[in-house]
Amino acid sequence: MPWIRAGLKRLALCVLSAAAATAQHSPMPVGEIGAQWIYNNIELSQNGGWSNQNGGSIFGQYFVEGTGRGMLGVVGQFAGSASQSGSLYTLMAGPRVSINWRRARLVFHADYRIGVDHARVNAISQSGAPASITSNGFAWGSGGFGVDAPVTRRYIVNLFQMDILSLAVPQFRGGSSSEGDLRVSAGITLRLGQR
């Protein structure tokens, strides 16, 4: 059946052409490092007390797999923020998926991170004296999503990133409780090398 053989040859030619075009896409970067401004909105108690904190973070990402358009990486981040009502420090890492949408010149990414937190809550005691309690615990991110805008091949502006973290917050009545933290951030990134 010559028409089947001809069709298979065309299919093989199309697959080879697509593979060559994918290989000619922009090379995959080795990694990224960056700094961000962050805003945390932490629930401090079961009664609805909130702490609005400003701070910063540094992060690094190493790309494991990809074609330059869709990439899988491992990201690590150290972040700290504070206000009069307390402070929060986190050290977290996990996988990140990035998709380069060339038509809009944007990079969308999503990640899931786990790590540790150190939280402090400040208050005024019943006698009117300042009081402070701290706790260390396990923290995890249940859905980080962000959008980046590449300025050049090496420099990227992080337009925004939103994370919803679960972490241990100390309670004045004793112990700590797992509370929610909405974290919004923006910053700049330096892309390292290509391969």
**Of the candidates 51, 111, 108, 52, which has an alpha carbon nearest to the alpha carbon of residue 77?**
111
Which of 22-36, 42-56, 80-94 has the largest mean confidence?
Answer: 80-94
CA angle 63, 157, 193 (to 5 degrees): 35
How high is the pLDDT of residue 119? 87
Residue 161 has pLDDT above 70, yes or no: yes
CATH of the domain at 44: 2.40.160.20
pLDDT band at 126 (very low <50, low <70, confident <90, very high): low
Q: Is the pLDDT assigned to residue 178 strictly greater than 50?
A: yes
Q: Which domain holds residue 86?
A: 2-194
For residue 68, the model assigns a pLDDT of 65
Above 60 in pLDDT, residue 194?
yes
Q: What's the whole-model pTM score?
A: 0.77
Q: What is the pLDDT of residue 3?
A: 45
Residue 144 near residue 115 (C-beta atoms within 8 A): no
CA–CA separation, 130 and 109 (whole Å): 42
Number of domains in the chain: 1
Percent of the chain with pLDDT over 90: 42
What pLDDT band is residue 8 in, cutting at 50, 70 and 90?
Answer: very low
- Name which of 160, 135, 132, 130 is nearest 148 in CA terms: 160
Residue 91: its pLDDT value, please?
A: 95
Residue 63's pLDDT band, with cuts at 50, 70 and 90, is very high
